[in-house]
């Protein structure tokens, strides 16, 4: 066991021994820290149960499954939920392709997410889009799906990549999405892609109060791109946390690591230790 694992486990045990998670969030404003499982995608393919166990052992309090989860059967989702319950970790959201937002696919997405106990079904990518009319179509898809999800106690979310920050006919698609989607739709901020495109994540959070309910804590640097670990890039994390917790309405954080100089699980462990040292 690495020293990173020992530190993160001690931090997790100490926090959880103090008060239940629900009270931590509601009373003491402690935001759960989770892992976007794309960070450990290769390990997940090899042995999903063992990977989830390793992630929980590090001290992560929640996870976010990405698009392949949609291929599960209801029984497979129930098995995953049982393991999450046994490990004491939550799944507040999933990452999805457009299929999950279509009339044909939404029912299955809702069923699986209700089994997993999530709150948000997040659209991870809109596909190939180049015009404002195509963006308006995506907005319509989000709003319609969100209305159906709401009747089942769920909400839609939208996750940005670099595409949304690049102006189309003088307008940033991310601003069009924020202005024209239902306010109950979460705007999940990917910090790394915001930085890479030269935008200010703090300003974005402050411009959208109450809607930045989760953030992908992905760092970035001009020299190494996304291969830097959390805290090693140019992200002003303390300012981001302050804005997210005072204005953004953040409910949970998710560390995301696209790649690094370390094996996937070690990278995830190192990022968690760095987060606890920086955020507290």
CA separation for the pair 207, 201 (Å, rounded): 10
Confidence of residue 115 (pLDDT cuts 50, 70, 90): very high
For residue range 2-44, what is the model confidence (pLDDT) as tens digits?
434 344 444 333 333 333 333 333 335 699 999 999 999 999 9
Structure tokens at 246: 């005072």
Q: What CATH number should be reported for the domain holding residue 55?
A: 3.20.20.150
**How crowded is the C-beta side of 157, counted as CA atoms within 13 Å?**
27
pLDDT (0 to 100) of residue 192? 98
Q: What is the mean pLDDT of the chain?
A: 91
Helix (H) or strand (E) holding 113: helix 106-116
CB atoms within 10 A of CB 74: 12
Cα-Cα-Cα-Cα dihedral sign, residues 59, 63, 66, 70: positive
Arithmetic mean of pLDDT, 76-104: 98
Structure tokens at 89: 């970790």
Q: Are 123 and 150 in contact (CB under 8 A)?
A: no
- Calculate the dihedral angle through the C-alpha atoms of 129, 131, 136, 141, rounding to the nearest 10 degrees: -20
For residue range 181-199, what is the model confidence (pLDDT) as tens digits?
999 999 999 999 999 999 9
Prediction pTM value: 0.89
CA separation for the pair 170, 94 (Å, rounded): 32
**What is residue 23's three-state secondary structure?**
helix
Cα-Cα-Cα-Cα dihedral sign, residues 265, 267, 270, 271: negative
63: which residues sit within 8 A by CB, 6+ positions away?
34, 35, 36, 37, 52, 55, 84, 89, 90, 91
pLDDT (0 to 100) of residue 81? 98
Arithmetic mean of pLDDT, 245-268: 97
For residue range 142-166, what is the model confidence (pLDDT) as tens digits?
999 999 999 999 999 999 999 999 9
Length of the chain: 280
pLDDT (0 to 100) of residue 47? 98
Structure tokens at 48: 């999903």
Q: Determine what percent of the chain is predicted with pLDDT higher than 90.
A: 89
Helix (H) or strand (E) holding 76: helix 74-87
pLDDT (0 to 100) of residue 7? 40
**What is residue 30's three-state secondary structure?**
coil
- Calculate the dihedral angle through the C-alpha atoms of 33, 56, 277, 19, rounding to the nearest 10 degrees: 70
CA 126 vs CA 41, 101, 135, 136, 158: distances in Å: 21, 10, 8, 11, 9
28: which residues sit within 8 A by CB, 6+ positions away?
19
Domain of 120 in residue numbering reads as 3-279
Domain count, the chain: 1
Burial of residue 235, with CB atoms counted within 10 A of its CB: 0-12 exposed, 13-18 middle, 19 or more buried:
buried
For residue range 52-64, what is the model confidence (pLDDT) as tens digits?
999 999 999 999 9
Q: Determine what percent of the chain is predicted with pLDDT higher than 70.
A: 90
Arithmetic mean of pLDDT, 98-126: 98
pLDDT (0 to 100) of residue 29? 65
CA 86 vs CA 5, 14, 57, 89, 98: distances in Å: 20, 19, 12, 8, 31
Confidence of residue 202 (pLDDT cuts 50, 70, 90): very high
């Amino acid at each position: 066991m690495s020293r990173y694992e020992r530190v993160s486990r001690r931090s997790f045990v100490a926090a959880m021994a103090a008060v239940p998670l629900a009270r931590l969030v509601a009373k003491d404003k402690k935001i759960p820290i989770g892992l976007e499982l794309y960070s450990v995608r290769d390990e997940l393919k090899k042995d999903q149960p063992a990977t989830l166990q390793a992630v929980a052992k590090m001290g992560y309090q929640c996870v976010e499954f990405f698009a392949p989860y949609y291929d599960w059967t209801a029984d497979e989702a129930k098995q995953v939920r049982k393991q999450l319950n046994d490990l004491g970790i939550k799944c507040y959201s999933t990452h999805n392709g457009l299929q999950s937002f279509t009339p044909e696919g939404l029912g299955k997405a809702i069923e699986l997410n209700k089994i997993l106990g999530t709150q948000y079904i997040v659209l991870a990518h809109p596909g190939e889009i180049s015009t404002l009319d195509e963006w308006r179509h995506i907005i319509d898809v989000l709003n319609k799906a969100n209305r159906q999800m709401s009747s089942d106690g769920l909400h839609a979310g939208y996750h940005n990549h670099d595409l949304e920050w690049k102006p189309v006919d003088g307008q940033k698609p991310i601003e069009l999405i924020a202005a024209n989607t239902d306010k109950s739709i979460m705007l999940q901020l990917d910090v790394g892609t915001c930085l890479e495109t030269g935008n200010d994540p703090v300003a974005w959070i402050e411009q959208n109060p109450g809607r930045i309910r989760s953030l992908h804590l992905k760092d970035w640097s001009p020299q190494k791109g996304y291969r830097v670990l959390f805290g090693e890039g140019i992200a002003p994390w303390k300012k981001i946390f302050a804005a997210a917790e005072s204005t953004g309405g953040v409910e949970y954080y998710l560390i995301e690591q696209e790649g690094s100089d370390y094996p996937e699980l070690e990278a995830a462990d190192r990022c968690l230790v760095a987060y606890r040292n920086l955020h507290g």
